[in-house]
Amino acid sequence: MDPRLQGRMKAVRGLRTTPVSALASESRRHLRALLDRLVGDEADYYARAIRHVEGRSTVARHREFPFGMIILKPVGPRCNLRCDYCYQLNITTNTERTLRYAHLASQPVMTLDLVERICRQIGPHLEDREHFVVNWHGGEPMLAGLDFYRRALDLFARWLPSSVRVSHILQTNATLIDAEWCAFFKAHGFIVNLALDGPRETFDQHRRYRGEHASPYQNLVQVLHLLQEQSIPYAVISVFAPGDRPSPRALLDFWEEQGLRSALGVKILPSYHVDEAMRCPPLHYADYLIELFDRWVSTYTPGSLRITNFHDPLRGLLGLPIEECYTNCGDRLLCFETNGDAWLCSTPFTREEYRFGNLVEQELSEIVNSRRRLEFLDRRHALLEDCRATCEVFPLCWGSCSYHVTLGKDERWEGKTWYCEGLRKFFGHVRKWVDTTLGVPGV
């Protein structure tokens, strides 16, 4: 066993040491190897690209610009699909929640002048950084067109220090990807994040082309295989929404059939929809994850699917950085809309208190030090202190996504995450599994 792993396990508070032979010795050996790898995977490309980037120490060392990532939404919420669980669709069709996108009629696409201003403003703050992430989001960001991205990346190359490694991530429904886009992704080292909820019968319940009843499923699967053939780094999200879902075993089998062992990560996301009818009950979500986790660990071998929902809590139990943005929400990233508005993130906040300023009208320093941002950090800190004092799985959850704290409350900052009960059950299950199954005598 890697001595670093022994040291980590000694440091995990509350980890009992009584070994339980719940798995065959060969499976136990593979799983211990997994934890060894989690300790030593600091060179892992995806982990380095998506994590805090430079960890929470970034915040302490770079107060004037603590962020390791910016999210750019070049076409705002516009999309060629109309998925019924989409939180962007929920915003744009609800007249009481249109503040965030009131500008779209006059500014439907982000200008290259704004991209250049963003680059010029953040460039000086990256002189001593090793790495920075640019996440292109939507809606469907590919609607901006390939020429937009070519020119935008020229601006990043011009204004950002040559010493900093910039990782570009594209969150896309993948329906517009072709060979020309793939060549561009390869040339610039893009990571492509795409959504694949499950087999077609699951996928088609919620995802359709705009204005049509046609399903994008077959198109997406073809693009997935194209990315695999071209060796383009990609990750997959699966939205957990109401409706019929495959059993956890069937979902794992489907992911295997689609070749997702080559994915940088696979993640199940709960619905962000403001309508509770479009969200699954928290305990339903937890029970599904628990069954999926048990199936995954019972069949784990080297090279198995990298499921972020499971890797993150395992890393957290070893005292390693967790890749989720909510571990330093408010300090990790800024999200820019087409008109230069700077929001807390890409999740569907619409109230003014989550809009920290506008980069067309203000300097970046004014946004970073805005009263709204600092007040948000105070509210977030108070939530974390309450969670830390009352929850045994806090080091794995960190209060979860801030938007989930406001779900069902008209975005008011009250109580804890809507998914608290479910996350507590799931993370508790993972913690118990590590304790009982991987206990090491004498550690």
For the stretch 345-398, pLDDT in tens is 998 788 899 999 999 999 999 999 999 999 999 999 999 999 999 999 998 999
Note whether residue 144 is domain-resident: yes
Element containing residue 170 per DSSP (H, E): strand 165-172
For the stretch 213-257, pLDDT in tens is 899 999 999 999 999 999 999 999 998 888 888 999 999 999 999
Note whether residue 338 is domain-resident: no
Note whether residue 250 is domain-resident: yes
Could you tell me the pLDDT band of residue 136, with boundaries at 50, 70 and 90?
A: very high
Note whether residue 331 is domain-resident: no
Note whether residue 359 is domain-resident: no
pLDDT at 12: 36
Please give the average per-residue pLDDT across 249-274, as a whole number. Answer: 91
pTM of the shown model: 0.87
Count how many domains the chain has: 1
For the stretch 34-88, pLDDT in tens is 666 654 443 343 343 334 333 333 444 457 899 999 999 999 999 999 988 887 7
Q: Range of 310's domain?
A: 69-318
The strand pair at 341-343 and 333-336 is best described as antiparallel
| Token duo for residue 197 | 């909820």
Q: What does each C-alpha distance from 419 to 242, 391, 412 come to in angstroms?
A: 15, 14, 16
CATH of the domain at 165: 3.20.20.70
Note whether residue 123 is domain-resident: yes
Residues 6+ apart with CB under 8 A from 21: 28
Which of the residue ranges 36-45, 54-63, 323-332, 335-344 has the most confident prediction, judged by mean pLDDT?
335-344
The CA distance from 89 to 84, in Å, is: 8
The CA distance from 32 to 441, in Å, is: 14
Note whether residue 29 is domain-resident: no
- Least confident range from 114-118, 219-223, 232-236, 439-443: namely 439-443
The CA distance from 301 to 313, in Å, is: 19
pLDDT at 242: 81
Note whether residue 360 is domain-resident: no
